[in-house]
Structure 1
Amino acid sequence: MFKLSDKYLIRREFFGGLAIILGGGEYELDELSTEILLFFEHSNDINQLKIFLENAMNLELSLEEIKNLLKGDGHKNFKSQSIHIFLTD
């Protein structure tokens, strides 16, 4: 099951190969993880990222749906629009 560790490890099981250690400065990047990091880079708020990822998991969003949310495309078609409130400028 998806869980954020004390070092903010995003587990591989959830993102199918995505592993990011936030705050530790170690990254194994793929296209999606790069998009996630770039999207949240401006906020410097790990809590916003944690909330986004936890909601994505709870809503069982696919990787494609997560990518579309990060790009701002098609959010009206998702199972819940509640996740969109965490995607702020």
Structure 2
Amino acid sequence: MTTILLLASLTTLGYATWYLILCAASPWGRCRRCHGARSHRTTIGTRRDCRRCDGTGRRVRIGRRIAEYIRAEYRAGHQ
């Protein structure tokens, strides 16, 4: 049983490390609303620029936003 728990925790730690490296190397990801298409269909069927990404198709990754928030809090506490 401990082998399974160790394997699961190492897998989770590996994934978290990979995601942090990804956020540091490439902070931009596809927009979740328009899926990178820059526009989406409205309820009446017309296409409109995505408001979340301002029609760029790219947004800052969640992990990058969290890292920036932690960094800002750390800097604000040590001034």
TM above 0.5, yes or no, is no
User: Which one has the largest radius of gyration?
Assistant: 2
> Given the two structures, how large is their TM-score scaled by the length of structure 2?
0.23
